[in-house]
C-alpha cells in the first residue's frame, strides 16, 4: 500500500527507514512537546527491537511520510482498538518538513485511508497536549475536536476525536478526490508521473502484493507467499481498470510503465490493461524478470507492449537457484532461452537490465559469461545497475568505479 498525495507519499515502514525514525525520535525539537526536550536517546539496536515487536501485531501500523523527492519527513501511526472500533493516531514531523502543508496533507490522507480501507474503525482519536498548539492546529484542520474522554482510556490526557460519520461530512480539499478513488483501487498502484527524454511517463503497479515466479534475495520487496507462474484474478479489478482509464483520459501521457511488486503479467487482466492503454494512443513499457516471456501466453501479452525490459543477475545455475530462488523446476538455461525466443519474434524495443551483484557476477569470468548471454539474447539496449535498495546495496553493491568498468566492457559487444 502506498498513498500518494499532491505533496507527500505515505508508505508502510521498512527496516531501511529505522535510521530516519531514530533521528526523528532523538530530535529534541520534535519530542519537546511530548515531554522529551533532549529527544528519546534511542540507539539503533533499540529501534530494531521496537520494529520487530511492532511487526508482531496487526493492531499497530506504522508508516513513513516522504516528500515528492523521496526525502523523509516524518512518521504516522494508527493503533486499532477493534473492541471499541477506534484507531488512535500519532504523527511526528521533522522541523525542516514543517510549515509546508506536508503534515496537513499527510494526516488528512491517512484518515481517508483508515476510514475507507480499514475495517471496524468508526472513529480516530489523538491526545494533543494543551501546550502543543501546532499539533492541536493540525488535528483541527483534519476535523478532530476535543471531547469527553471515554471511560476505558484510563489516563487524564486530553481526548480529541473524529467519527467516521462526521468525517463523511468533511470535504478536506478537492486535491484529495483523486487520492480517494486511488486507495479504493488497491490493485492498481500509481507511482509518480515524470518526464523521460521529453516523454511524460506514469509508472504503475498492477499487482496488489508481491506475486512473482522468483523470490530473489536482492528483491526490494519482502519475501512472497505468492510464488506463482499462473495468472491471478483480483477482487475489484474491473472498477480499478475503469478508473485507471479515466485517469489516463485526464492526463496527457506518452508512456505507461508497468512496474509492479512482482511479475505484472501474472495479473489475469494484464493483457486487457495493456490493450486499454494502447487504445488511448499511449505507449506501454513492461518490466519483467524475463522467465515467462518464452511461454506462449505471456509472450503474446508482452509482445503487445512497445518496450519490454527483461532482467539478468546470476550467471551460474547454482547462483540462479541460490540468489533468485525461482519456482521448482526452473533453470538458468531455460531462463535465457525464453528471453531469446521472445526477442526473436518481438518488434518492439527489448531492454536487458543487468543487476550487478558483488561477489557473484562482477569478476572477469562472470563478465565474459554475461557477454555471451547478451549476445544470445541480442537486446536493443542494455542497462547495467547496482541493486537500488540502500540496505541491499551494503551487501551486493559494486563500487562505482567497477560498475563503470563493467558498463564499458558490456557496452562494447
Footprint on this chain of ligand SF4 (rule: CB under 6 A): 212, 214-216, 219, 221, 262, 289
Q: In the complex, what is the shortest distance from the CB of residue 284 to ligand SF4, in angstroms, rounded to a whole number?
A: 19
3-state SS record for 327-373? CCCCCHHHHHHHHHHHHHHCCCEEEEEEEECCCCCCCHHHHHHHHHH
Shortest Å, Cβ 213 to ligand SF4: 7
Separation of alpha carbons 40 and 190, rounded Å = 36
Nearer to ligand SF4, 112 or 263 (CB): 263
Residue 214, classed as helix, strand or coil, is coil
- In angstroms, give the least distance from the CB of 290 to ligand SF4: 9
Given a contact cutoff of 8 angstroms between Cβ atoms, the answer to whether 370 and 398 are in contact is: no
**What are residue 188's phi and psi, to 5 degrees?**
-105, 115
CB of 212 to ligand SF4, least distance (A): 3
- Please identify, using beta-carbon distances, which residue of 187 and 289 lies nearer to ligand SF4: 289
Euclidean distance between the first and final Cα of the chain, in Å? 41
Cβ nearer to ligand SF4, comparing 26 with 226: 226
Q: Least Å distance between CB 349 and ligand SF4?
A: 20
Using CA atoms, how far residue 302 sits from 21, 88, 264, 343, 378, in Å, is 41, 45, 10, 10, 17
DSSP for 365-403 reads HHHHHHHHHHHHH--SEEEEEE---HHHHHHHPPPHHHH
> Nine-digit cell at 260?
509492479
User: What minimum distance in Å lies between the beta carbon of 193 and ligand SF4?
Assistant: 22
Cα–Cα distance for residue pair 108/106, rounded to 1 Å: 6
Minimum distance from CB of 406 to ligand SF4 (Å)?
20
Query: Closest CB to ligand SF4 among 17 and 389?
Result: 389
DSSP code at position 208: S
Least distance from ligand SF4 to the Cβ atom of residue 178, Å: 27
CA dist 88 and 84 (Å) reads: 11
Grid cell locating 132: 502543543
Q: Taking the complex as a whole, how short is the minimal distance between the CB of residue 262 and ligand SF4, in angstroms?
A: 5
- Smaller CB distance to ligand SF4: residue 216 or 406? 216
Pair 101, 111: CB distance under 8 Å: no
Question: HSE-up of 278 (CA within 13 Å, CB side)?
Answer: 17
Closer to ligand SF4 by Cβ: residue 89 or 216:
216
Helix orientation angle between 332-345 and 317-324, rounded to the nearest 10 degrees: 90
Residue number, 78 or 291, with CB nearest to ligand SF4: 291
CA 150 to chain centre: 37
| Closer of 20 and 289 to ligand SF4 (Cβ) | 289
Least Cβ distance, residue 221 to ligand SF4 (angstroms): 6
CA 299, 302, 305, 306 torsion-angle sign? negative
Minimum CB distance to ligand SF4, residue 391 (Å): 14
Considering beta carbons, is residue 74 or 326 the nearer one to ligand SF4?
326
Output 105 or 311, the one with its CB closest to ligand SF4. 311
Q: How many CB atoms lie within 10 A of CB 373?
A: 17
In this complex, which beta carbon is closest to ligand SF4, that of residue 75 or of residue 215?
A: 215
- Asked if residues 66 and 8 have their Cβ atoms less than 8 Å apart, the reply is yes
Amino acid at each position: 500500500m502506498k498513498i500518494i498525495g499532491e505533496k507527500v507519499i505515505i508508505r508502510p515502514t521498512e527496516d531501511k527507514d529505522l535510521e530516519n525514525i531514530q533521528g526523528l525520535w532523538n530530535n529534541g525539537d520534535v519530542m519537546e512537546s511530548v515531554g522529551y526536550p533532549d529527544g528519546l536517546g534511542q540507539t539503533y539496536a533499540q529501534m530494531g527491537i521496537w520494529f520487530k515487536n511492532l511487526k508482531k501485531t496487526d493492531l499497530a501500523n506504522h508508516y513513513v511520510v516522504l516528500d515528492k523527492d523521496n526525502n523523509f519527513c516524518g512518521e504516522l501511526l494508527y493503533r486499532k482498538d477493534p473492541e471499541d472500533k477506534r484507531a488512535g493516531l500519532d504523527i511526528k514531523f521533522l522541523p525542516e518538513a514543517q510549515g509546508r502543508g506536508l503534515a496537513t496533507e499527510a494526516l488528512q490522507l491517512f484518515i481517508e485511508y483508515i476510514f475507507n480501507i480499514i475495517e471496524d474503525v468508526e472513529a480516530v482519536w489523538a491526545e494533543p497536549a494543551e501546550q502543543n498548539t501546532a499539533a492541536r492546529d493540525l488535528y483541527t484542520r483534519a476535523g478532530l475536536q476535543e471531547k469527553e474522554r471515554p471511560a476505558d482510556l484510563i489516563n487524564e490526557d486530553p481526548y480529541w476525536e473524529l467519527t467516521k460519520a462526521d468525517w463523511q461530512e468533511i470535504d478536506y480539499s478537492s486535491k484529495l478526490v483523486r487520492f480517494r478513488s486511488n486507495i479504493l483501487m488497491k490493485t492498481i498502484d500509481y507511482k509518480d508521473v515524470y518526464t523521460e527524454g521529453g516523454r511524460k511517463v506514469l509508472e504503475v503497479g498492477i499487482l496488489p502484493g508481491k506475486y512473482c515466479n522468483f523470490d530473489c534475495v536482492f528483491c526490494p520487496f519482502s519475501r512472497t507467499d505468492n510464488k506463482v507462474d499462473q495468472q491471478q484474478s483480483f477482487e475489484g479489478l474491473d472498477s480499478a481498470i475503469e478508473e485507471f482509464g479515466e485517469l489516463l483520459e485526464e492526463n496527457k501521457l506518452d508512456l505507461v510503465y508497468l512496474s509492479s511488486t512482482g511479475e505484472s503479467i501474472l495479473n489475469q487482466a494484464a493483457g486487457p490493461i495493456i490493450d486499454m492503454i494502447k487504445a488511448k494512443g499511449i505507449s506501454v513499457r513492461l518490466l519483467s524478470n524475463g522467465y515467462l516471456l518464452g511461454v506462449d501466453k505471456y509472450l503474446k501479452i508482452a509482445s503487445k507492449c512497445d518496450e519490454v525490459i527483461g532482467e539478468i543477475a546470476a550467471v551460474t545455475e547454482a547462483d540462479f537457484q541460490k540468489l533468485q530462488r525461482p519456482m521448482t523446476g526452473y533453470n538458468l538455461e531455460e531462463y535465457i532461452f525464453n528471453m531469446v525466443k521472445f526477442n526473436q519474434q518481438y518488434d518492439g524495443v527489448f531492454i536487458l537490465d543487468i543487476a550487478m551483484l558483488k561477489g557473484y557476477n562482477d569478476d572477469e569470468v562472470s563478465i565474459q559469461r554475461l557477454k555471451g548471454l547478451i549476445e544470445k539474447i541480442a537486446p536493443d539496449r542494455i542497462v547495467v545497475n547496482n541493486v537500488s535498495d540502500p540496505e541491499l546495496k551494503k551487501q551486493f553493491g559494486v563500487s562505482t568505479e567497477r560498475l563503470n568498468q563493467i558498463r564499458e566492457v558490456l557496452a562494447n559487444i
